[in-house]
């Protein structure tokens, strides 16, 4: 589907009592599978042994029962897990996470969601200082920064390393003693904390914590380092907070049952739909969501408009991911495999709700399918502003030349996708719906956490 691509999901557990760590992390990763489908990995430790398994593929493809059995330490008390979509570093097996290294802290593992915008100059500096890189991922930059801070306890080393890093990130670290969680000073990428009966867990989204039986107690604050020491949760504010969490977490990425920085994702999406009706009402007979991304906003639009919400598009649950196909014709057929119209739209004026338009290709096919099925009008409403700029903080929003809103006006986009009318939610509407400060850089080009230097953008994308 023509959407911003997933980022990554991270998960970590510290327990004072032995757990089936591999089994729990496997379950937790399944709750984060939507955040990345290219690679998955798990690291576990009992304080002595340190085991890692990772590979390319979906969580259940990587973690067969045979592979999980190799991770099952009877006395395991620590664990780290990651599911990956590659925004930097091509999708190669050695870039799968957690990444590990032997340092003065002993074996150290890292799981990272986001991007360091200054990865290239930091990498160049470390190479000049004699560092050896084992991957092409920007994540390894932090791992080697920590290796140079081995004289400090791991939480302090993490706080010091944060001073050198720019960008948006949520990171989990693990040695043989503890798990450390940290978040960039803008809190661009999410990271939640849960309380277990005998320990703590950390995850990109609370549903993964709840699946593990952990009670979601709060989020890691922007610029904060959190760790567990002798069973107690410790915290250090490493950098001054300047909150600007990614708006797309609420618009699209997070599971609808997630609570991020105190704001429920589903309710935020419903409010976006309500704001969208207030800003761009349409004369129509029904509201139809693009499943599953447009459902929350469609509920809000229908609620405010009084129009019925109809099941006008069927999503094939067995279609799987749409990988790039060798011809445009096959790509178009893949869209039809995933979505098809129902008879509900025949003879009706439809308000079609989706969360975003990136390249416009899928939107164009959906509009055409609805009209072929008998819809007399299709009024397209989008619960986010036009995406005009790339993201450098861990979401793959395509190169700017591929973003339709960076090349065309709203009217030109309407004509391209074949809709009878088209409207996007305003930035103010997004902010009202979320109810707090957010990063809107992909809409307005105002990046809160810096961007790579012009000559380094390609390098960052191809590390």
| DSSP collapsed to 3 states, 312-354 | CEEECCCCCCCCCCCCHHHHHHHHHHHEEECHHHCCCEEEEEE
Instruction: Check whether 458 has a pLDDT greater than 90.
Output: no
- pLDDT reported for residue 307: 98
Arithmetic mean of pLDDT, 25-40? 94
To which residue do tokens 């000073």 refer?
185
386 and 296 in a common domain: yes
- pLDDT reported for residue 26: 97
H or E element in which residue 427 lies: helix 427-434
Q: Which residues contact 186 (CB under 8 A, 6 or more apart)?
A: 168, 222, 242, 243, 244, 245, 439, 448, 449
Is residue 103 very low, low, confident or very high in pLDDT (cuts 50, 70, 90)?
A: confident
With respect to residue 254, please indicate whether it lies within any of the assigned structural domains. Answer: no
With respect to residue 148, please indicate whether it lies within any of the assigned structural domains. Answer: yes
**How many domains does the chain fold into?**
2
Under 8 Å between Cβ of 105 and 150? yes
With respect to residue 70, please indicate whether it lies within any of the assigned structural domains. Answer: yes
Arithmetic mean of pLDDT, 337-342? 90
Is residue 461 very low, low, confident or very high in pLDDT (cuts 50, 70, 90)?
A: very low
Is residue 190 very low, low, confident or very high in pLDDT (cuts 50, 70, 90)?
A: very high
Q: Which of 244, 273, 308 is the last residue of a domain?
A: 244
- pLDDT reported for residue 316: 87
Under 8 Å between Cβ of 449 and 393? yes
Residue 8 falls in the annotated catalytic set? yes
Arithmetic mean of pLDDT, 72-101? 81
The CATH number covering residue 379 comes to 3.40.50.2020
- pLDDT reported for residue 328: 52
272 and 236 in a common domain: no
| Residue of higher predicted confidence among 456 and 334 | 334
Is residue 191 very low, low, confident or very high in pLDDT (cuts 50, 70, 90)?
A: very high
- pLDDT reported for residue 358: 92
pTM of the full structure: 0.91
In tens, the pLDDT along 350-375 reads 999 999 999 999 999 999 999 999 99
With respect to residue 396, please indicate whether it lies within any of the assigned structural domains. Answer: yes
Under 8 Å between Cβ of 78 and 47? yes
Could you tell me what percent of the chain has a pLDDT over 70? 89
With respect to residue 131, please indicate whether it lies within any of the assigned structural domains. Answer: yes
Comparing CA positions, the residue from 217, 293, 212 lying closest to residue 254 is 293
Instruction: Check whether 327 has a pLDDT greater than 70.
Output: no
- pLDDT reported for residue 140: 86
Separation of alpha carbons 12 and 20, rounded Å: 13
Is residue 88 very low, low, confident or very high in pLDDT (cuts 50, 70, 90)?
A: very low
Secondary structure (DSSP) of 80-119? EEEEE--SSS-S-GGG-SSEEEEETTEEEEEEEEEEETTH
With respect to residue 291, please indicate whether it lies within any of the assigned structural domains. Answer: yes
**Beta pairing partners, 107:** 102
Separation of alpha carbons 157 and 102, rounded Å: 15
Candidate list 8, 246, 391, 439, residue with the active-site label: 8
With respect to residue 196, please indicate whether it lies within any of the assigned structural domains. Answer: yes
Length of the chain: 463
**Beta pairing partners, 199:** 15, 196
Instruction: Check whether 460 has a pLDDT greater than 50.
Output: no
146 and 121 in a common domain: yes
Chain centroid to Cα 109, Å, comes to 21
With respect to residue 460, please indicate whether it lies within any of the assigned structural domains. Answer: no
The mean predicted confidence, pLDDT, of the chain is: 90
Arithmetic mean of pLDDT, 263-287? 98
- pLDDT reported for residue 177: 93
Q: Which of 218, 244, 270 is the last residue of a domain?
A: 244
411 and 336 in a common domain: yes
Separation of alpha carbons 385 and 60, rounded Å: 35
Question: 218 is in which domain, residue-wise?
Answer: 8-244
425 and 379 in a common domain: yes
| Residue of higher predicted confidence among 161 and 325 | 161
Q: Which residues contact 321 (CB under 8 A, 6 or more apart)?
A: 37
Instruction: Check whether 324 has a pLDDT greater than 80.
Output: no
Under 8 Å between Cβ of 52 and 236? no
CA dihedral 57, 291, 32, 384 (to 10 degrees): 110
Among 23-32, 122-131, 434-443, the least confident range: 122-131
Among 59-73, 76-90, 189-203, the least confident range: 76-90
Is residue 385 very low, low, confident or very high in pLDDT (cuts 50, 70, 90)?
A: very high
Arithmetic mean of pLDDT, 109-125? 91
Q: At what angle do helices 295-305 and 265-279 cross, to 10 degrees?
A: 50
To which residue do tokens 């419903």 refer?
270
Among 169-173, 229-233, 235-239, the least confident range: 229-233
266 and 237 in a common domain: no
399 and 351 in a common domain: yes
Buried/exposed 98-135: b ≥16 CB within 10 Å, e otherwise: bbbbebebebbbbbbbbbbbbbbbbbeebeeeebeeeb
Residue 255 DSSP label:
-
Arithmetic mean of pLDDT, 168-183? 96
133 and 214 in a common domain: yes
Is residue 3 very low, low, confident or very high in pLDDT (cuts 50, 70, 90)?
A: low
Under 8 Å between Cβ of 8 and 85? yes
What the block records as the tokens of 87 is 């925004």
- pLDDT reported for residue 130: 75
Could you tell me what percent of the chain has a pLDDT over 90? 76
399 and 274 in a common domain: yes
């Amino acid at each position: 589907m023509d959407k911003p691509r997933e980022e990554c999901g991270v998960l970590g557990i510290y327990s004072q009592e032995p757990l089936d760590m591999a089994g729990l992390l496997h379950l937790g990763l399944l709750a984060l599978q939507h955040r990345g489908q290219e690679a998955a990995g798990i690291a576990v430790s009992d304080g002595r042994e340190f085991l890692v398994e990772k590979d390319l593929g979906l969580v259940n493809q990587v973690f067969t029962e045979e592979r999980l059995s190799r991770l099952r330490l009877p006395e395991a008390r620590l664990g780290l897990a990651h599911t990956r979509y590659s925004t930097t570093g091509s999708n190669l097996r050695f870039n799968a996470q957690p990444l590990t290294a032997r340092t003065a802290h002993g074996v150290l593992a890292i799981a990272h969601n986001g991007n360091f915008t200054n990865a290239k100059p930091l990498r160049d500096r470390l190479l000049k200082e004699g560092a050896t890189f084992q991957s092409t991922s920007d994540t390894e930059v932090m791992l080697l920064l920590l290796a140079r801070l081995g004289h400090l306890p791991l939480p302090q080393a993490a706080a010091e390393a944060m001073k050198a890093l720019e960008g948006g990130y949520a990171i989990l670290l693990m040695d043989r003693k503890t798990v450390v969680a940290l978040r960039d000073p803008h809190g661009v990428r999410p990271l939640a904390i849960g309380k277990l009966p005998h320990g703590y867990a950390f995850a990109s989204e609370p549903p993964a914590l709840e699946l593990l039986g952990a009670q979601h107690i709060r989020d890691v604050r922007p610029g904060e380092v959190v760790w567990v020491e002798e069973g107690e949760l410790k915290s250090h504010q490493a950098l001054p907070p300047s909150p600007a969490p990614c708006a797309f977490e609420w618009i699209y990425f997070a599971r609808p049952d997630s609570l991020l920085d105190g704001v429920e994702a589903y309710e935020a999406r419903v409010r976006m739909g309500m704001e969208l009706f207030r800003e761009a009402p349409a004369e129509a007979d029904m509201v139809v969501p693009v499943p599953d991304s447009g459902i929350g906003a469609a509920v809000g639009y229908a609620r405010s408009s009084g129009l019925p919400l109809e099941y006008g598009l069927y999503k094939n649950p067995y279609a799987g991911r749409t990988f790039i196909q060798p011809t445009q014709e096959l790509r178009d057929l893949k869209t039809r495999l995933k979505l098809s119209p129902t008879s509900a739209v025949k003879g009706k004026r439809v308000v079609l709700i989706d969360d975003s338009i990136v390249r416009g290709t899928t939107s164009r096919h959906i509009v055409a399918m609805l009209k072929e099925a008998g819809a007399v009008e299709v009024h397209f409403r989008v619960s986010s502003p036009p995406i005009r700029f790339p993201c450098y903080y861990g979401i793959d929003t395509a190169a700017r030349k591929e973003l339709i809103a960076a090349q065309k006006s709203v009217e030109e986009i309407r004509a391209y996708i074949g809709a009878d009318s088209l409207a996007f939610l305003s930035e103010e509407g997004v902010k009202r719906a979320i109810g707090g400060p957010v990063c809107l850089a992909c809409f307005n080009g105002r990046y809160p956490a810096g961007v790579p230097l012009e000559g380094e953008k390609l390098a960052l994308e191809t590390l």
